[in-house]
Amino acid sequence: MMRGRMAEQPSVLMIFTGGTISMRIVPGRGALPASGGKEILESVPKLATLAKITCEDFDRLPGPHWTPDRMLDLARLIDTRLAEGDFVGAVITHGTDTIEETAYLLDLVLTTDKPVVLTGAMKTADDPSWDGPANLTAAVREVSTAPTGVFVVMAGRTHPAREVVKAHTDSFTAFVSTEPSKPRERIRIDRIEPHVDLIAAAAGADGRFLRHAVATGARGIVIEALGSGNVPPRMLEAAREAVVGGTPVVVASRCRGGKTSATYGYEGGGVTLQDAGAIFSGDLPASKARIKLMVLLGAGRDPAAIRRAFEA
């Protein structure tokens, strides 16, 4: 009796961009980029038993060195490579400090319907507890079976790009997410608007930073507001001035859970911000509201269309 043919291994595109997963400790200097994709793959031989890996080096960026323009470069590369190859999807290594922002931008702008999974590590490659191999293995397994969309895989858990946040500085289980609250949004763009400032509200804050942002060329502003979307009174007038001058102002919250809304009517409360023309981000945190505003402005959306996109 002849045995059936073994199932063919899935073909996975793996793009290495840097991050802690690629770093080693340099005495006296701390953790620094050290390894490229080939070296990392050689450290995880198990991957060859799971999929046919095509390795590509994009960069060796620490998480804080990413820019929205570079994120868009990555999106274009992913779309191009997935379109020309017989891949089930792509795994991207990334620094954990900004992985949630890149994941969300990719989720918004990628044209491919193949799944994309981002992963990284909390420990360097020379640490005895290096979590890179386990995360890469989980990412390859996930991308081989995942539906369309962009995900972050860390510590054995899969997080949707829109909902994932880094909630701890150095825990292996630093990443958390909620269940998706909205269907995936996709926005076609040729460019991104990088000049969007994020300004945090705090007790006693005034409008100086809002006015400075406008004066120095900000095309949009995101306020990381208090509670459900409230700011100190002296920030309100500066927000109104920005909107009147044509600069969209989006209000997010510094709270990890819940939504922003026009609830409070006191000076600086959500009702007065809404009356001033501010837009509420809903449940999007400030960092992702900034990414979305950059994408919308890059797509040429006017203030009314931007409002509709956030309030949909």
Residue 302, helix vs strand vs coil? coil
Q: 310 with 282: CB under 8 angstroms?
A: yes
Residue 26, helix vs strand vs coil? strand
Residue 189 tokens read as 């763009």
Distance CA 119, CA 154 (A): 6
Distance CA 83, CA 78 (A): 8
Scanning the structure block, which residue is given the tokens 């000049």?
195
Torsion angle, alpha carbons of 132, 134, 140, 142, to 10:
-120
Question: What secondary structure letter does DSSP report for 10?
Answer: P
b (16+ CB within 10 A) / e for 239-277: bbbbbeeebbbbbbbeeeeeebbbebeeebbbbbbbebb
Q: 210 with 239: CB under 8 angstroms?
A: yes
- Closest to 145 measured CA to CA, from 6, 4, 5, 7: 7
* Residue 20 known to be catalytic: yes
Active-site residue identified among 20, 137, 158, 260: 20
Residue 149, helix vs strand vs coil? coil
Q: Is 237 exposed, middle or buried (0-12, 13-18, 19+ CB in 10 A)?
A: middle
- Closest to 175 measured CA to CA, from 161, 193, 195, 186: 161
CA-based end-to-end distance of the chain: 59
Distance CA 71, CA 88 (A): 21
Q: Which residues are catalytic?
A: 20
